[in-house]
Structure 1
Amino acid sequence: MASSALNVRKIKLGSQGFEVSAQGLGCMGMSISYGPPKPDDDMIELIRYAINCGITLLDTSDIYGPFTNEILIGKALKGGWREKVELATKFGLKFVEDDNNTNNYKLEKYGDPAYVRKACEASLERLGVDCIDIYYQHRVDTRVPIEVTMGELKKLVEEGKIKYIGLSEVFPSTIRRAHAIHPITAVQLEWSVWCRDVEEEIIPTCRELGIGIVAYSPLGRGFLSLGAKVMDNLTDDDFRKTIPRLQQENMEYNKILFEKMTNLATKKGCTTSQLALAWVHHKGDDVCPIPGTTKIENLKQNMEALSIILTPEDMAELESLAYEVMGDSYGPMQSENTWQNSETPPLSSWKPK
């Protein structure tokens, strides 16, 4: 295990003083979505290795598992590790029984005050901590005005149960409404070389308001690391099998993008995944990518992206590739829970229970 922190620079997210490692660790894949859950002991070793290397922003959610990823993080932070990290988790998504199929479950979004409080207290218990550093609304509940949800989150800040508030996959107008109730420290969104639609409105809104940006899936769910090979040997429960742009009809086209990235990476003396991460790092000092991994070797490679220098010409070449992507980044079921469907009703429509 690494015995001392490497030179991972710190950046500030938002304007409230929240400081994190310039690269975080997305923990979802340890427990859900990318095949079967990985052994706890292996993942605890990985998490602690990352912390010793200077990667201190750990990102999880109550829906990952559900619940098991938070429990895993809680185990990893026992024994004096808690004070070494910035801990991020989320609320707002819950599996509920599907009325149309009693043998199946669907994701529902919740943002009412009672649920917010209950979810936070449950996460605190699973994580084994007294305070969450940044607490995100994972997806916006389109039945509840964002002002109502933010009001309860503000109370949790005042009570010391959370330090900072974040949003994930959210409309620019909703960001503004939320920020007017209490400062938003960070917005989490999908941002990578091949997923750039957030640049039109969401990124400018965040920067206008002084809100940090946390980029999930900066490696395109593995495609920007492996290309078409990412689909080899996937288990039946790997959700990448449902992503349109990773399906064969689009992959034949998208693999050309990967080949071009590989050529540029070879010129730069790095891997395609390092090149993709370096691109995100070069998008601003207010941006923190959170690549996920379950292997220490991949973690080491991801960290090396912090030292790669890209010229304006390199950036322009990479950015031109985004216009060649075929297929959506989410399937129909997941798309229902993205920012395109995240506007909330006006506050005047709310009737407290």
Structure 2
Amino acid sequence: MPICSVPTTPQRHRVKIVANKLIANGVSEMLLEPINGRLPDWKAGAHVYVHLPSGKTRQYSLTGDPSIRDCYRLAVKLEEGGGGGSREMHQLAIGCTVEISGPINNFALVPSTDPHLLIAGGIGITPLLSMAYVLERAGRSWRMVVCGRSPDSMPFLKELSGFPPESLILIYTYGEPGHRLAFEDLFSSMDPKTQVYLCGSGRFNHSAAHAFRTSASRTARLVYESFSGSQQSITPAENGFFVELALTGRKLWVPRDKSILEVVEAAGVRVESVCREGYCGTCVVHVLEGSPTYRDDNLFTDEERSSQKVMTLCRCRSNGDLRISL
């Protein structure tokens, strides 16, 4: 990911909901068709922002075969403890219209002849399903491991059955910790040059990333994206600090139990944000003075972290005062 400035709003497209049906427990599949013209082409791993009638904006991965051009396809898990965006998506009626962004891809499938391993945790299958289509069509060596609580909770099982059986491993935990995927065994036994793409909850990804660092070959590569239904908390033991908004010179106190994003919003400053958990990149800003500390799963490269010139407002903190490009 290159050093970037505050993201600009992508071009919006008005689309019509032509299908909205449950395909697994708590998971609804939606088809979106353009009102005028055609929708932009997209590549596996891409997502769009959906601007809901309530004013909420939510980010969802595009799923299915990217070669299908006439509509976009989403799968939305209902998050009971979330902010209401997923429930509003589930309640969208056939024929109603919403605005979406064009495709944005921070989780792209990098061209490679090396073996690929796709690991999906629950609804994290959505971008990986698209990657499976691309890899199969290109004749690449690939496997997908799909983890879920039970068959009833997993979307796309029928569609997955259309892929070669030897490429798929389905693991159901049924709520039992002993049934979970043994990441260490998986990574230690794979081809040393395997390209690993991982998508699941923050906890799922954290467990996998830890196992990858300790078990995988140094020539292997891991790329991951997080899905989470609840906002992660700021550790209250940290000290507070001041943040200066460069455009106005305002200085705001960020207490130990608030994020910079929350403080800036409370001060009446309008900031684009979507995930509020440090993985979508919407609230990235330049750091003009000071040294941020990073909590983001996989958003910034090692080079960007070392430079300390960019940060997210929702997750990054600081041990001292900051001046940022707002």
Query: Which structure shows the bigger proportion of residues in helix conformation?
Result: 1
Structure-1-length-normalised TM-score: 0.33
Q: TM-score, normalised by structure 2?
A: 0.35
More strand by share: 2
